Amino acid sequence: MRVRVEQTALPGIGVRHDLMTESGRRLGVVSHRNGRRDLVLYDPEDPDSCQHDIPLTDDEAEALADILGASLMLGQLSGLREQAAGLLTEQIAIPAGSKYVNKRLGDTKARARTSASIVAVLRQGTVNVSPDPTFRFEAGDVVVVVGTRQGLDGVTAILAETDPDV
């Protein structure tokens, strides 16, 4: 981990995790014993003073974590693209008319047919990383695929409304 996260016990309250951003801002998350979480932004002039406190419900905290996790993963995949010439990533939406809606990832045989790998599926703000062959697609899912241009085009064709091999 490149960022140092400080953990502080808050007796009777819970735990606070703080980190300093590269831009010099200090932010934290207070996890209360009752499950409530607060996103805390400290005053840049006084890093010990809270400037903003945003209470988050469980659903809001989970959605925020998913958003941050998805953007991090996609950023890492973009970095991977720069490291390996010819290796590409692409996000492909599954149309409502795809024969793979409500079907398992394994039913596509995408890797065997194209040599490209589906490394994640984005669904309504949730990231399913490394979905296994039993993962079932829904219309509107966005799959993240890694492979060559030819492989990505092949996965796109498979997930399209009409699979070219059917």
Q: Return d(Cα 99, Cα 72) in angstroms, integer.
A: 31
Q: Is the pLDDT of residue 100 over 70?
A: yes
Q: Is the pLDDT of residue 129 over 60?
A: yes
Q: Is the dihedral of CA 18, 21, 23, 24 positive or negative?
A: positive
- Both tokens of residue 122? 């984005």
Q: Beta partners for 5?
A: 19
Is the pTM here over 0.85, yes or no? no
Residue 103 to residues 94, 96, 136, 158: CA-CA distances in angstroms?
11, 12, 5, 13
Question: Averaged over 107-125, what is the pLDDT?
Answer: 90
For residue range 36-79, list pLDDT tens digits in order. 899 999 998 887 888 999 998 877 887 787 777 666 666 666 66
- Both tokens of residue 36? 């409530």
